[in-house]
Amino acid sequence: MVSGSARTSSRSQPVSPYTGIGIFATVVMQSSHATLVITITALAAGQITYGNALALAIGANVGTCITAILGAISANVDGKRLAAAHLIFNVTTGVVAIIFMNYILVAVDWISGHVGIAGDDWTLKLAVFHTLFNTLGITIMIPLINQLVKVLYKIFPQPQADLVAPLYLNDAVAEFPDTLVETVRKEVLHLYDNASGVLAHALNLHPHDIRSDVDLFELTQRPEKLMEFDLDDIYGRRVKVLYNAIVEFTSRNQGQLPQEHMERVYVLREAARDIVEAIKDVKHMRKNLITYIVSDNASIKAEYNKIRAQLGEILRELTTLRDAGEEADMVALDGLRLQMEENDVTLNGDLDRLIREGKITAPMATSLMNDSSYSYDVARNLIAAGSGLFGPHDMGMHKAARDIDLDEDELEVLVRKPA
């Protein structure tokens, strides 16, 4: 075991080379514990001095950061920030400990003397040093946490929101037809959930309003604050990427499915297409919508708010069907179809009345006519998507449900039937 003179002389020995050895050993072995075990063994056998053992311990603490760094390579931005914070903490503490090594040794001796550790019990004194080392790091870094956070946010800025990746599509399910169909259904539901939020924001409504019991017609009459919303960007990131993945996955796997399963996958893919088409239709009408819902013309403002509320009601009903799962009452879709027809301003005479009474200008009238058509298409596509996605999973039951749906002629009769 090292002598007392060796311990005393260790205070003036350079510790940096041994710190580097500790770092290297920990990186190679991927374990600071292994490095410390070897250090303690060597110290107990008298192969290294006490001061050099302390330097090795510092190196082991710094070297352990390599594990966090390797893990952060494939981590998200928060994981990279955490790994960097870990590195900064250990390196800063290590540098300070090396600079003030002689003072730390005095503190170790003082603490050891007060807790009954013998002056030549180097192993326990190393444990005291390790405790002081970590305490020193905490003491240094706690006051600097806010500054450290700011620095890390600058070094690792939050990237633009990543593309929404498919959650369920997996080639491993291709050999199991039932599992493949269920996988596609869940991914289309994922697409619908994203798209419903996009549609709500495009209509200048909050998704939580859709899920609430608030009267949407009353809500849209309140003073409007336009939402900052890049429809093209969020459509590309949250909807289009999922739709592309669904089309690619189903095209690649559909041909090897039994007929019934292939038909179900086709229905689901059509539902996905209808969802995407609904967003495209909203995109066409959004420019006029956000212009006229803050217009000074009360009549045109009321008509566009009516469109928002009507489409919001359809989203609300579809959300109810979505949450109901296989217990969904698909008869509700007939009510939505009827409501869709009744809301067409070119059929119910509202547009002609507004023009005749001079309440809106000719440009307003043409805009309203076009956007009413887009609104009709949005509703039709959403209802079609709901029929394919939320209806019975069994194709026989699905076809039976479709057979009893109201057709266009029946809808027209109901719309024109006097109250």
Tell me the three state secondary structure of residue 153.
Answer: helix
φ, ψ for residue 294 (rounded to 5)?
A: -120, 15
Residue closest to 267 by CA, chosen among 253, 250, 280, 282: 250
- Residue 326 has a pLDDT of 66
Question: Which of 206-210, 269-273, 325-329, 346-350 is predicted least confidently?
Answer: 346-350
Average pLDDT of the chain to the nearest whole number: 79
Neighbours of 214 (CB within 10 A): 14
DSSP symbols for 331-361: THHHHHHHHHHHT-HHHHSHHHHHHHTTSS-
Q: Give burial (CB, 10 Å; 0-12/13-18/19+) of 176.
A: exposed
Query: Residue 87: is its pLDDT beyond 90?
Result: no
Neighbours of 236 (CB within 10 A): 12
Cα 300 from Cα 222, distance rounded (Å): 15
Q: Which of residues 390 and 304 earns the better pLDDT score?
A: 304
Q: Which of residues 316 and 104 earns the better pLDDT score?
A: 316
Cα 55 from Cα 97, distance rounded (Å): 9
- Residue 158 has a pLDDT of 65
Strands annotated E in 103-233: none
259-279: per-residue pLDDT in tens? 888 889 999 999 999 999 999
Architecture of domain 171-416: Up-down Bundle (1.20)
Q: What is the CA radius of gyration of the chain?
A: 34
Q: Which of residues 339 and 144 earns the better pLDDT score?
A: 144
Residue closest to 129 by CA, chosen among 49, 43, 36, 54: 54
Cα 41 from Cα 66, distance rounded (Å): 24
Question: Which of 81-90, 210-219, 289-298 is predicted least confidently?
Answer: 81-90
Q: Give burial (CB, 10 Å; 0-12/13-18/19+) of 157.
A: exposed
Tell me the three state secondary structure of residue 297.
Answer: coil
355-414: per-residue pLDDT in tens? 888 898 989 989 988 998 899 899 899 989 988 888 665 544 444 444 434 445 543 444
Cα 229 from Cα 219, distance rounded (Å): 20
Buried b (16+ CB within 10 A) or exposed e, 403-416: eebbeeeebeeebe
Question: Which of 59-68, 197-206, 302-311 is predicted least confidently?
Answer: 59-68
**Given pLDDT bands bounded at 50, 70 and 90, which one contains residue 330?**
low
**Given pLDDT bands bounded at 50, 70 and 90, which one contains residue 1?**
very low
Cα 220 from Cα 205, distance rounded (Å): 8
Mean pLDDT calculated for residue range 295-301: 92
**Given pLDDT bands bounded at 50, 70 and 90, which one contains residue 10?**
very low
- Residue 195 has a pLDDT of 93
Query: Residue 106: is its pLDDT beyond 70?
Result: yes
Cα 129 from Cα 283, distance rounded (Å): 65
Cα 165 from Cα 57, distance rounded (Å): 44
CB contact set of 189 (below 8 Å; sequence gap of 6+)? 322, 389
Query: Residue 207: is its pLDDT beyond 80?
Result: yes
Asked if 183 and 168 touch (Cβ cutoff 8 Å), the reply is yes
Cα 186 from Cα 300, distance rounded (Å): 40
Query: Residue 63: is its pLDDT beyond 50?
Result: yes
Q: Which of residues 377 and 83 earns the better pLDDT score?
A: 377
CATH 1.20.58 domain locations along the chain: 171-416
Q: What region does 358 belong to: left with phi over 0, alpha with psi -120 to 50, or beta? A: left
165-203: per-residue pLDDT in tens? 888 888 777 788 888 999 999 999 999 999 999 999 999
- Residue 346 has a pLDDT of 53
Cα 327 from Cα 34, distance rounded (Å): 59
Query: Residue 81: is its pLDDT beyond 80?
Result: yes
Cα 61 from Cα 368, distance rounded (Å): 69
| Alpha carbons within 13 A on the beta-carbon side of 216 | 25
